[in-house]
């Protein structure tokens, strides 16, 4: 089969997933071309996708296509024209995300006098929905219109969580299924590295030699991740633990636009929190934590949750999107957008005898049950084949 994969601007998660899909489908013997923004070049070069055409050993091709997170008339028209050329001879066009889905849907249609006519013959259209649209009512209304446009034209819609699957069905999708989005499994860090990182994290506490509870979060510093509630919860937890002579330090690894606001908030509410910036030692960070916290307002199949389970970490997370489906019984889940609930849950984990060790044990068991990269590729290839028969 010849497969065209399309994604728009991405802060990392969707782009990494598409690169993994491209590499896996190519290894399975199929021809793959990735159409993605120019800034995806470095990520795609890792899988050998450096030229517009597939490589001599089956490496995916890469064609730069500028698809921003918001409509841009001239750029979108150029993207449609490029995709229209790329879909010729393709068996499947698989778009990831609403914006990529909309542009691909237009590319698969011919136009005359501004009216969308019959879709290009022979090319099966697949869309994966990765995110729940967030923002003001106007933004959500526009997103709902885009969703209907896309899913009613798609042969198959994949959603990364049950709420996205339900939304696609309600919007008129003909065939809907749950996507598999496994996290890459990293080699476990050695104990020396874990202890080095643990010592670093403790050094941020007011008294590094005291009884300090270390909270770790790995997230983009963006509204969706709910980090403002984590800061509030840390301030509450500081007061709760102080009566037992214990302290807490919350360390957040990641970058993004909310960094300065989070620092200001932590100072204002008295939360012992430190922003580490982006890190390349995430497995060691997760193993060095007492509790890994995911305070998000929404998640699909959170990669950090999967990484934390593989690390055997105790996890407290908000019960949103697909988080519960990933966690199983291996994490303590709380309602979203509630700092008191988050603080109470973390306090329960670190003060109840045996709670930490039980969650860590459950995490290791759950990690062995999570879907693998190989299963993801098998799912996609089977779905593609069913469509092109």
Residue 111: what pLDDT? 41
Residue 110: what pLDDT? 57
Residue 340: what pLDDT? 98
Residue 146: what pLDDT? 87
Query: Do 2-182+372-388 and 191-369 agree at the fold level?
Result: yes
- CB-side neighbour CA atoms (13 Å) of 261: 11
The tens digit of pLDDT for each residue in 242-255 reads 999 999 999 999 99
* Least confidently predicted of 9-13, 28-32, 133-137, 261-265: 133-137
Calpha distance 294→335 (Å, rounded): 12
Residue 217, φ and ψ in degrees, nearest 5: -130, 135
Residue 250: what pLDDT? 99
pLDDT reading at 121 higher than 80: no
Residue 113: what pLDDT? 39
pLDDT reading at 324 higher than 70: yes
Calpha distance 357→184 (Å, rounded): 25
Q: Would you tell me how many other CB atoms lie within 10 Å of the CB of residue 211?
A: 12
- Cα Rg of the chain, angstroms: 22
Of the pLDDT bands very low, low, confident and very high (cuts 50, 70, 90), residue 12 is low
pLDDT reading at 117 higher than 90: no
| CATH number at 191-369 | 3.40.50.2000
Paired sense of beta strands 115-119 and 109-112, if any = antiparallel
| Mean local confidence (pLDDT), 34-46 | 95
Q: What b/e sequence results for 106-136 when a residue is b if at least 16 CB atoms lie within 10 Å of its CB, and e otherwise?
A: bbbbeeeeeeeeeeeeebbbbbbbbbbbeee
The tens digit of pLDDT for each residue in 191-216 reads 999 999 999 999 999 999 899 999 99
Q: Do 336 and 320 meet the contact criterion of CB atoms below 8 Å apart?
A: yes
Of the pLDDT bands very low, low, confident and very high (cuts 50, 70, 90), residue 145 is confident
The tens digit of pLDDT for each residue in 229-239 reads 999 999 999 99
The tens digit of pLDDT for each residue in 85-99 reads 999 989 999 999 999
Helix (H, G, I), strand (E, B), or coil: what is residue 223? Answer: helix
Of the pLDDT bands very low, low, confident and very high (cuts 50, 70, 90), residue 141 is confident
| CATH number at 2-182+372-388 | 3.40.50.2000
pTM score, two decimals?
0.92
Residue 120: what pLDDT? 53
Average predicted confidence (pLDDT) for the chain: 94
| Mean local confidence (pLDDT), 10-37 | 94
Of all residues in the chain, the percent with pLDDT exceeding 70 is 96
Where do the structural domains in the chain lie, given as residue ranges?
A: 2-182+372-388, 191-369
Residue 76: what pLDDT? 92
pLDDT reading at 115 higher than 50: no
pLDDT reading at 38 higher than 70: yes
The tens digit of pLDDT for each residue in 44-81 reads 999 999 999 999 999 999 999 999 888 888 989 999 99
Q: Residue 33: name the closest of 101, 98, 85, 105 by CA.
A: 85
Q: Residue 253: name the closest of 298, 210, 300, 197 by CA.
A: 197
pLDDT reading at 39 higher than 90: yes
Helix (H, G, I), strand (E, B), or coil: what is residue 82? Answer: helix
pLDDT reading at 262 higher than 60: yes
Residue 13: what pLDDT? 86
The tens digit of pLDDT for each residue in 363-381 reads 999 999 999 999 999 999 9
């Amino acid at each position: 089969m010849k497969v065209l994969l399309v994604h728009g601007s991405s802060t990392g998660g969707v782009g990494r997933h598409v690169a993994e899909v491209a590499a896996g489908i190519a290894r399975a013997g199929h021809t793959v071309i990735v159409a993605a923004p120019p800034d995806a070049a470095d990520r795609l070069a890792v899988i050998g996708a450096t030229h517009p055409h597939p490589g001599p050993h089956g490496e995916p091709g890469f064609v730069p296509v500028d698809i921003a997170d918001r409509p841009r008339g001239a750029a979108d028209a150029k993207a449609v024209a490029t995709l229209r050329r790329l879909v010729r001879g393709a068996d499947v066009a698989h778009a990831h995300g609403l914006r990529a889905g909309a542009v691909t849907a237009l590319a698969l249609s011919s136009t005359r006098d501004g009216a969308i006519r019959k879709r290009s013959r022979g090319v099966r259209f697949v869309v994966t929905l990765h995110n729940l649209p967030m923002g003001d009512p106007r933004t959500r209304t526009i997103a709902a219109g885009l969703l209907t446009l896309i899913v009613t034209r798609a042969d198959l819609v994949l959603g990364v969580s049950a709420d996205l699957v339900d939304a696609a069905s309600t919007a008129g999708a003909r065939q809907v299924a749950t996507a598999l989005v496994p996290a890459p499994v990293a080699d476990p860090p050695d104990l020396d590295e874990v202890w080095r990182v643990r010592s670093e994290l403790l050094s941020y506490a007011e008294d590094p030699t005291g009884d300090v509870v270390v909270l770790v979060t790995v997230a983009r510093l963006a509204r969706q991740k709910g980090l403002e509630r984590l800061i509030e919860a840390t301030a509450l937890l500081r007061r709760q633990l102080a009566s037992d002579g214990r302290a807490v330090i919350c360390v957040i690894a990641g970058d993004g636009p909310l960094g300065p606001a989070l620092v200001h908030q932590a100072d204002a509410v008295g939360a012992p929190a430190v922003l580490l910036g982006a890190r390349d030692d995430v497995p060691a960070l997760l193993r060095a934590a007492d509790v890994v916290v995911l305070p998000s307002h929404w998640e699909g199949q959170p990669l950090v949750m999967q990484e934390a389970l593989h690390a055997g970490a105790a996890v407290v997370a908000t019960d949103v999107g697909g988080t519960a489906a990933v966690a199983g019984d291996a994490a303590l889940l709380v309602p979203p957008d509630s700092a008191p609930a988050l603080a109470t849950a973390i306090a329960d984990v670190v003060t109840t005898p045996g709670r930490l060790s039980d969650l860590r044990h459950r995490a290791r068991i759950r990690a062995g049950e999570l879907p693998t990269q190989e299963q993801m590729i098998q799912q996609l290839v089977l779905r593609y084949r069913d469509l092109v028969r």
